Chain A
């Protein structure tokens, strides 16, 4: 990881002037089973960009992304979101921090019996009191923002549909709108396209890229599809066995780098698996 530490030093020098949006220091996660999912992960995002995380299943991608908003409790290390350490927060502080981080999931994780609008508005739950929220009384500006977001993600007129009446791509758009309702400082996407067909996947990734640019919000995306990652990310991070083994622009993701991420033996198979590996 020699080249990485120099890069890190460069970044750290740049950091002195301004706080990074996200800085992860020595992040370790050991599950109760004894599995070391993350081993000393260090990582900085200092500008709005799409960061794709690739790696085999079990390499720690999902654990990493879930540690950032503490859906998974880190074992040790620091996660600084605009300078505030999320790991040391108490319950209340954590809830306030979670409001600043939007999350989008592989299985969309919409509440199926609620309408599209109710699902989108649930992105504001962190800002609305319990009594108002259970009566679905949200401030008018939130409702206006929800309509605008639905228009933006291409779901104009869908506000009163029930979530379980939508297609996969439409559900993911609702998921994106819900996350953006938080006006987040950071977006986390956990395999957002893994349940979608290739065409819808590309549309969703393009939408995410556009939104990151429009809103100047960085996004971290776990993704299995290397071609999709190379096409839509500004930066790619490779995980192997709980460690970052690659961190660079997509153009530098060579076969040699892929071998480092996914392992030698499994790499470079003949044509049949080629689509995902060639850009």
Chain B
């Protein structure tokens, strides 16, 4: 190879881009611009309505202050129910997620089982907690049972997916070695799989407990029990000072949950 040719190649060399070729990159950004222009020019934003809403917002906010904690027994009952829903749902979710996660791991489950479990996860993740809550409220009526089932279902799907992913990413070597000793399937799971995924899974579980606490405050709004139901009721009765008291309590509770989850996960590492 001559010096000249190699210096030409050096001049012509470009770092690879995400898009592969410059043409593809140009097409991509072109499409982005066209879409932005189209959406901004066609969307129907009624500024008059937005402006009319401003004084109402101001009114509500002024009526929210100062927060009114007079009816604190109601607040405490609602909050306790939310926490109970979150914890119970997490426990049920964990129990359900273990078989689901194992079935959804390509390297452990036989193909038909794997496909069924993955299908369930895909379908389950399609629906937001609130949508599932509406469904369960229709089935079981207003109250914490619907909330518990909602979050248990959503947790099982979420934890199952995370567990399956962890199992698929674990090292195959120890699994092969334990299998080679003549161990049964469940012995392989306990000796080679569990030690590899346990710590990460515990972290995900703690995160999910925290998330369930947050979700449990929201799904009450559609009638699935807990503090959310209290909040929704206070809004409909225009008790905005009580609403703000509830909101502050929720914020404090969620912050506490997040701090706890962070603390535990730091310990686990």
Contacts and interface: CB of A to CB of B under 8 A. Distances in A.
B192 to A, nearest CB: 6
A122 B195 contact: no
Given A71-B176, A99-B182, A111 B190 contact: no
Interface in A53-101: 69, 71, 95-101
Interface stretch (A20-28, A125-133, A205-213, A221-229): A125-133
A24 to B, nearest CB: 18
B186 to A, nearest CB: 5
Nearest to B195: A113
A37 interface: no
A182 B181 contact: yes
Contacts of A134: 187, 190
A204 B186 CA distance: 32
Contacts, number: 80
Closest 4 CB pairs of A and B: A126-B182, A99-B182, A109-B173, A109-B177
A95 B176 CA distance: 13
Contact of A126 (B177, B181, B186): B181
Contacts of A125: 178, 181-184, 187, 191
Interface residues of B, number: 21
Interface residues of A, number: 31
B27 interface: no
Nearest to A108: B173
A49 to B, nearest CB: 21
Given A105-B176, A122-B181, 8 more contacts: A71-B179, A100-B182, A101-B180, A102-B181, A105-B173, A111-B178, A111-B192, A126-B183
Interface in B179-206: 179-184, 186-187, 190-192, 195-196, 198-199
23 contacts: A71-B176, A96-B182, A98-B181, A99-B182, A102-B180, A102-B181, A103-B177, A107-B173, A109-B177, A110-B177, A111-B192, A113-B199, A114-B195, A122-B191, A124-B181, A125-B178, A125-B181, A125-B187, A125-B191, A130-B186, A130-B187, A133-B183, A178-B181
Contact of B177 (A96, A105, A113, A133): A105
Contacts of B198: 113
Contacts of A103: 177, 180-181
Contact of A133 (B171, B180, B191, B196): B191
Contacts of B173: 105, 107-109
Given A111-B191, A133-B187, A133-B191, A123 B181 contact: yes
Interface in B77-95: none
Given A130-B187, A133-B190, A95 B182 contact: yes
B174 interface: yes
B22 to A, nearest CB: 36
Nearest to B173: A109
A139 B191 CA distance: 17
Interface string B148-182: 00000000000000000000000101101111111
A178 B182 contact: no
Contact of A98 (B171, B179, B196): B179
Given A110-B174, A113-B198, A98 B186 contact: no
B182 A109 contact: no
A71 B191 CA distance: 17
Contacts of B192: 111
Interface string B82-122: 00000000000000000000000000000000000000000
B184 A95 contact: yes
Contacts of A98: 179-182
Contacts of B176: 71, 105, 109
A97 B180 CA distance: 10
Contacts of B182: 95-100, 125-126, 182
Nearest to A182: B181
B174 A111 contact: yes
A177 to B, nearest CB: 12
Given A111-B195, A133-B191, A134-B190, A99 B177 contact: no
B184 A130 contact: yes
A76 B180 CA distance: 20
> Which of the listed residues B171, B173, B177, B178 has the most CB atoms from chain A within 10 Å of its own CB?
B177
A178 B191 CA distance: 13
B151 to A, nearest CB: 29
Contacts of A95: 182-184
Contacts of B180: 69, 71, 98, 101-103
A122 B190 CA distance: 11
A111 B181 contact: no
Nearest to B177: A109
Contacts of B190: 130, 133-134
Nearest to B182: A126
A113 B173 CA distance: 14
A71 B179 CA distance: 8
> Which of the listed residues B182, B183, B190, B195 has the most CB atoms from chain A within 10 Å of its own CB?
B182
